[in-house]
Amino acid sequence: MKVCIAEKPSVARDIAEVIGAKQRKDGYYEGNGYQVTWTFGHFCTLKEPHDYYDQWKMWRLEDLPMIPSHFGIKLIENAGVQKQFGIIENLVQQCEEVINCGDAGQEGELIQRWVLLKAKCTAPVKRLWISSLTEEAIKNGFQQLKDAEQFNNLYAAGSARAIGDWLLGMNATRLFTKKFGMGKVVLSIGRVQTPTLAMIVARQKEINAFKSEDYWELKTLYREVEFTATIERLKSLDKAQKGLAYLKEHPFEVTSFEKKDGKEGNPRLFDLTGLQVEANKKFGYTADETLKHIQNLYEKKLVTYPRVDTTYLSEDLHPKIAGILTDMTPYKALIAPLLEKPIPKLKAVFDDKKVTDHHAIIPTGVYPSSLSLEEKRVYDLVARRFIAAFYPECKISTTTVFGKVGQVEFKVTGKQIIEPGWKEVYANDQPSKDEPTDGKKEGEETEEKTLPHFVVGETGPHTPKIHQGKTTPPKPFTEATLLRAMETAGKQVEDEEMRELLKDNGIGRPSTRANIIETLFKRRYIEKKKKNIFATQTGMDLIDTIQSELLKSAELTGTWERKLRLIEKGEYQMETFKQELITMVVELTTEVKSNAYKVITLAPPTPVEPEKVKKEPKPKKVVEVGALQCPKCQTHALKKGNTAYGCANFQVCGFKIPFEVFGKKLNEKQIADLVTKKKTTKLKGLQIPSQPNPIDGKIILDAQFQLQVEP
């Protein structure tokens, strides 16, 4: 018997269905020579300090640093985890082969390896490595199972990351809590969270120290076009007024007129960080919310593996692109022009050298039905970005005009879209009826400014004026800009190609950054006001207390991340990384113990902003299903069974309504409407065997008490 271990029950169910293990047992599926079982996330964790030595249970400065001679793992103390682990343990000890079907990434590898280690697995292990959960992907994956040894470096990197986080987190948190928290507040320190907090604090200090100043600019209107003087901003109104008087004495003369044709390159496919940034900009979703939505879409087989850090596809995917596009029926109007000729093999999209474990996030082609509003929005971002990648480039014309008034130079620039190209994908404000999208479209941010034709040497009257403005402070971080800063280790980088080069040195990994930001909120180190993120006094005090640049430098932390990636590639030793962290912890402990004493208090909870306080909706009056009478016999009550609501006298009457009808799970209100009104309200995405595509309609109860769909 071969035992397959998936990371979630839902994934195990999908795998079992594909490989023919259809008999449900307690904690696993069985059939066709397979047993398919599952974990639900982490079953094991590194041992806690008190598991090594009793005295480490107490938080005492004299016991620091805590450096175990070796690191062990233990089961999480949870009854459900322990029961399921017992099932896995029994299965793997009796099988001929184990197939690791865990999430195809570093964390997924670590989860499964620890479980197999704890279960004392001695059977040979294979690895299922797939980028989507479609039936085709699972079948192909089982036909091309890999040896587990191929992923030893991935496991080593995951172990190094976990041990590094333990060494720094356990020691530094106790160190700063006992030294500066007076035992009343836990001061959480982390390898990734602390430099992230340091970036926010540094920005906060820039904002707090900023003093706004007035400035004046000279502008003039010539042929209904506003030109701006190229001289430095003036610091006094007196100088501006003298400049205005000078301008009034001279005509405007055009000195240069230049028109250049250019292109705006297509947006890159999404990696996880790019998707989180876009969802935060457009819909205000937090990084954690976007991660949950895209993970749900992955498990619904609608998109490929999401926890990725590349914007490229592997070259062997090129022949499959047309098929995926063809299957994306909600977007057929946008896709039709692409299918008129072969899909180009663009270097900006396909590059094996830029793809490691997984490629960029793209749709699978499976029809997107039964999605929440949030899932629809996130799916639409991925779908449109995928389509836009294969459209022609956007052709633009940039016009630059220089002029002068006396000796003062003026300038204006304008941009005109000649051929929209990929921007057509984002052009329509109103999506088609069945298109799962809403919200602001990408590409709307580009403002066109068409300038008339000017002739060099032409002169004429103009209307000069003074524009007064104020200098503005640096912008606070939003989740979008903070994610980008984490990705580039604090460097301000707009160019996408340069961002790709810096990813190896980013802080954290795409899959962990959302959790890091959430942790900072929970610890009350940062707070959010509207979409902006600010450091609390606690966060600022903590960073001010930390003297070690190693602990709070985004750039230095980025080098640790790079070493973890090198461990994945087999180009750096896990033991070397571990020893570097031990050295750092020892030095940090010695330094902090000798530091001057200062008390850090916990920031109060962030008050809820008045505009965000929502009134509780009035409860809707819903008829209890249990209080309804069977509509067929009109004698007995309606009762809830395991798979359906049915007449209490079902053996005689025979009336029932399944929980799921036409691919739609019905709620109690919809059941009640069917029984009392003989129809539901209009529902989206109903699946009818005679129809090739899902339709919208009402489910009705006909005269024979059968369920039908009314469009």
Are residues 648 and 623 in contact, defined by beta-carbon separation less than 8 angstroms? Answer: no
Residue 691: per-residue pLDDT: 66
pTM, two decimal places: 0.75
> Of the segments 66-70, 443-447, 624-628, which one has the largest average pLDDT value?
66-70
Residue 556: per-residue pLDDT: 79
305 is catalytic: yes
CA atoms within 13 A on the CB side of 602: 17
Q: Which of 412, 436, 470 is the last residue of a domain?
A: 470
Same domain, 460 and 484: no
Residue 427: per-residue pLDDT: 81
Are residues 71 and 166 in contact, defined by beta-carbon separation less than 8 angstroms? Answer: yes
Neighbours of 235 (CB within 10 A): 12
Same domain, 458 and 585: no
Burial class (CB in 10 A: 0-12, 13-18, 19+), 232: exposed
Q: Is residue 620 part of a domain?
A: no
Q: Is residue 106 part of a domain?
A: yes
> Which of 78, 71, 80, 79 lies closest to 114 in space, CA to CA?
71
> Which of 329, 316, 395, 415 lies closest to 368 in space, CA to CA?
329
Output the domain CATH number for residue 345: 1.10.290.10
Lowest mean per-residue pLDDT among 61-75, 144-158, 258-272, 346-360: 346-360
Q: Is residue 155 part of a domain?
A: no
Same domain, 298 and 341: yes
Output the domain CATH number for residue 422: 2.70.20.10
Output the domain CATH number for residue 35: 3.40.50.140
Active-site annotation holder among 305, 312, 331, 525: 305
Lowest mean per-residue pLDDT among 320-334, 360-374, 432-446, 553-567: 432-446
Q: Please say if the pLDDT value at position 655 is more than 70.
A: yes
Q: Is residue 619 part of a domain?
A: no
* CA pair distance 215, 107, nearest whole angstrom: 53
* CA pair distance 550, 168, nearest whole angstrom: 11
Residue 707: per-residue pLDDT: 84
Residue 687: per-residue pLDDT: 76
Same domain, 223 and 298: no
Are residues 297 and 378 in contact, defined by beta-carbon separation less than 8 angstroms? Answer: yes
Same domain, 420 and 505: no
Kindly list the strands in the beta sheet with 477-478, ordered across the sheet, starting from the edge strand earlier in the chain: 477-478, 532-535, 526-529
Mean model confidence pLDDT for the chain? 88
Q: Which of 390, 420, 445 is the last residue of a domain?
A: 390
Same domain, 282 and 419: no
Q: Is residue 177 part of a domain?
A: yes
Q: Which of 374, 390, 406 is the last residue of a domain?
A: 390
Q: Is residue 151 part of a domain?
A: no
Range of the domain at 522: 160-209+475-550+559-610
Same domain, 365 and 298: yes
Same domain, 228 and 200: no
Share of the chain above pLDDT 70, in %: 89
Omega of the bond leading into 68 within 30 degrees of 0 (cis): no
Signed CA dihedral, 657, 663, 668, 673: sign only: negative
Convert the pLDDT of each residue in 402-428 to its tens digit: 999 999 999 999 999 999 999 999 986
Q: Is residue 13 part of a domain?
A: yes
* Residues in CB range of 50: below 8 A, 6 or more apart: 56, 57
pLDDT band at 605 (very low <50, low <70, confident <90, very high): low
Same domain, 99 and 166: no
Ramachandran class of 86: left when φ > 0, alpha when ψ lies in -120 to 50, beta otherwise: alpha
* CA pair distance 584, 209, nearest whole angstrom: 32
- 396 vs 356: which has the higher pLDDT: 396
Residue 651: per-residue pLDDT: 64
Same domain, 195 and 71: no
Same domain, 262 and 405: yes
Are residues 665 and 686 in contact, defined by beta-carbon separation less than 8 angstroms? Answer: no
For the chain, what is the total number of helices (H) and then of strands (E)? 22, 27
Q: Is residue 617 part of a domain?
A: no
Burial class (CB in 10 A: 0-12, 13-18, 19+), 511: buried
- If one counts the domains in the chain, the total is 5
Same domain, 49 and 129: yes
Neighbours of 6 (CB within 10 A): 27
* DSSP-derived secondary structure letter, 638: E
- 395 vs 594: which has the higher pLDDT: 395
